[in-house]
A and B are shown apart, each in its own frame.
Chain A
Amino acid sequence: MHYLLPHLLTRAASQSPDQIAVVAGSDSVSYRELDRISDRLAAVLSSHGVARGDRVGIFLPKSMGAIVGIYGIMKAGAVYVPVDPAAPPGRVAYIVENCGIRVLLTSAKKAAAVEEILSKGAALDRLILLDDSAWSDGPAVPVVTWTDVLGHDGNAPVLESIETDLAYILYTSGSTGVPKGVMISHRNSLTFVDWAHDAVGATSEDRFSSHAPLHFDLSVFDLFVACKAAATLVLVPDGLSSFPFRLAEWIEKERISVWYSVPTILSLLVRSGDLGRFRYPHLRTIIFAGEVFPVKYLRDLMALVPKATYFNFYGPTETNVITYYRVPPIPEDRTAPIPIGIACANTEVFAIADDGKRVSRTGEVGELYARGSLVAQGYWGDAEKTQRHFVANPLSRGFRETAYRTGDIVTLDDDGNYVFLGRRDDMVKSRGYRIELGEVETTLYRHEGVREAAVVALPDPSIGNRLVAFVVLSDEAAADAEDLHEFCGEHLPRYMVPESIELRDHLPKTSTGKVDKVELARRAGGTAPAGN
């Protein structure tokens, strides 16, 4: 029986040792090799004092080394924390400090960024390099090289973790101005992985694409469903998704059979990939999640790759995936977005209307809740925020249990599927990423020249939403819009930096004195702000 994610690897290695586990460019490893190398890394981590429950950071682009890192960390009983390799150093330093990372798995290619993270006071004891790179000027902390890892002769520690221990922490945008760490246990993750494995009918013949970055929860499906099936995981080369024309060739050439990504990438393939050049005979399942897929591009995709089965997965990071919808042929005249569907196994989803009653009939509207073993353990080090979102199940009778309030407003269609309508707060999606508008506003307020700031999201057919910031400068401020843009770039991940920053003498207010975001969105050329 498996009850920990690394058990999937151990089993694949014993049952299909020679099967290719991971392909990264011209490099590949078998399940036997992946199991052995990650054992060595676990031994190295253990010899440096990493123990059950410790957090270990991964700060490097998705690569063979990063995959070894994920399994090595979990085999040491520790919790992996994948950090966006492109995030500004200040944000990385915050995450390192926030969850107490002492050991960071990285590459000398990230030397400049790591030095900057250290200079911001990150209390790291040790760096472990997961590729052949060498650090030219010794950094301020001891380094373990890849050669040291491969040459280590100790045994992997005995794994004493239990299924409720944390497997990983994923940081997402937080409305108070700093990212928050979603704590996922082995049981939470495996509930999803076991269900998804069966839902897509994964087999060892499959070749899974690995498109999503490791700090994004879509990567969980690729990594662990492929492993459970002893299938092959093929990493999409860094930068290839920038070039849809080439990406289409890659999908064909690599004989990808299961593809999973945000709709934005699939839309890009439809629009600029010239998909019609190939027939993709191996591509049997296409899954998307993270944002609403514009129906016209989805319909075009289904016409271009007609043999594949299509799934829409839905679920915030805090719940893995809680609902799914198997997409039937879409009529020509349909413009409404497709539903998010029905609950996955071991999960209950329900919507609560404003009057506190459960949504039960077509067309009724309410906020979506989820309960069951998919629901995360809360936010790392933030009991207050955890209590606000992970609440006592309002429908529970007689015993205490937790439900997650998604903040998503939904309705039911005639077939009993949930349909996403919008948000009850200021969270929006852009390029599949979650963005709390409040985090962008808080960042702008940190600039000394900013007196007032409001950020609105304008719906955009290609990326979901486009952010526009409206700023009133203080009288003595010497800054201009470009300074503020630069400032945002230094403090926020790229996808959260507003597309444009407009300076105003004052911001329109509602009758209650709040910034009138509807009016701002109208002036910025949109109809209504998404996410309000």
Chain B
Amino acid sequence: MDAETSIRRFIVRNLMMKKDENVISLDEPLLEKGIVDSWGIVELTEFLKKEFGADLDDADILPENFHSVRTIAALVNRGKS
């Protein structure tokens, strides 16, 4: 599974409590729509570290990086290289 797919699945299932992954698009504005709140960020960050071994600093946890599934995946891919 690629990063975008598994990040979207985590958000939909764990933060939105929904089953159908298509309820959000890859570009859905997660913060603006309140889909990911402060606790969501903490859970999501833990997930990214565990799932992808992403090497994330405090300074990576910024709104622009958590805008959408696509920007989160880009952050993870940067963190891996």
Contacts and interface: CB of A to CB of B under 8 A. Distances in A.
Interface of A: 86, 239, 241-246, 265, 268, 272-274, 431, 462-463, 482-483, 485-486, 488-490, 494-495, 497
A244 B18 CA distance: 27
Contact of B17 (A239, A463, A485): A485
B37 A239 contact: yes
A485 B13 contact: yes
Q: How large is the interface on B (under 10, 10 to 19, 20 to 34, 35 or more residues)?
A: 20 to 34
Contacts of B17: 485-486, 488-490, 497
A494 B37 contact: yes
Interface in B22-50: 31, 34, 36-42
A241 B38 contact: yes
A429 to B, nearest CB: 14
B16 A242 contact: no
Contacts of A486: 17-19
**5 closest Cβ pairs, A-B complex:** A489-B17, A242-B38, A242-B41, A274-B58, A241-B38
Given A462-B42, A489-B17, A244 B58 contact: yes
Per DSSP, chain A at the interface is: helix
A485 B39 CA distance: 17
B42 A246 contact: no
Contacts of B66: 242-243
B1 interface: no
A239 B13 contact: no
A86 B37 contact: yes
29 contacts: A86-B34, A239-B31, A239-B37, A241-B38, A242-B31, A242-B38, A242-B40, A242-B41, A242-B66, A243-B41, A243-B62, A243-B66, A244-B61, A245-B62, A246-B63, A268-B38, A268-B42, A272-B58, A274-B58, A274-B59, A431-B39, A462-B42, A482-B13, A483-B19, A485-B17, A488-B17, A489-B16, A489-B18, A490-B17
A497 B39 CA distance: 12
Contacts of B34: 86
B59 A245 contact: yes
Given A242-B40, A244-B58, A495-B39, 18 more contacts: A86-B37, A239-B38, A239-B63, A241-B38, A242-B31, A242-B36, A245-B58, A245-B59, A245-B61, A245-B62, A268-B42, A486-B17, A488-B17, A489-B16, A489-B18, A490-B17, A494-B39, A497-B17
Nearest to A483: B19
Nearest to A488: B17
B64 to A, nearest CB: 10
A86 B31 CA distance: 13
Nearest to A265: B38
Nearest to A237: B63
Nearest to A486: B17
B63 A243 contact: yes
Contact of B61 (A243, A482, A488, A494): A243
A499 to B, nearest CB: 9
